[in-house]
Homo-oligomer: A and B are copies of this chain.
Amino acid sequence: ARKQKWTSEEEAALRAGIARYGVGSWRLILKDDDFRSILSCRSNVDLKDKWRNINVFFTESGSMDKGRTAMKKNRATPRRNDHPMAKSTVASDVDDEIVDEQPIASVSSELWNVSIPKKSRSRAKQYHIGICQELE
Chain A residues with a Cβ under 8 A of chain B: 2, 27, 30-31, 36-37, 39-46, 67-69, 80, 85, 125, 127-136
Contacts and interface: CB of A to CB of B under 8 A. Distances in A.
Contacts of A69: 2
Q: Could you tell me the dominant secondary structure of chain A's interface residues?
A: loop
Instruction: Tell me which of A39, A40, A69 has the highest count of chain B C-beta atoms within 10 A of its own C-beta.
Output: A40
10 contacts: A2-B69, A30-B129, A37-B134, A37-B136, A42-B130, A43-B127, A43-B130, A44-B129, A45-B128, A85-B136
One complex includes copies of this chain to the number of 2
Contacts of A42: 130
A62 to B, nearest CB: 21
Contact of A67 (B2, B46, B125, B136): B2
Nearest to A135: B41
A37 B125 CA distance: 20
Nearest to A128: B43
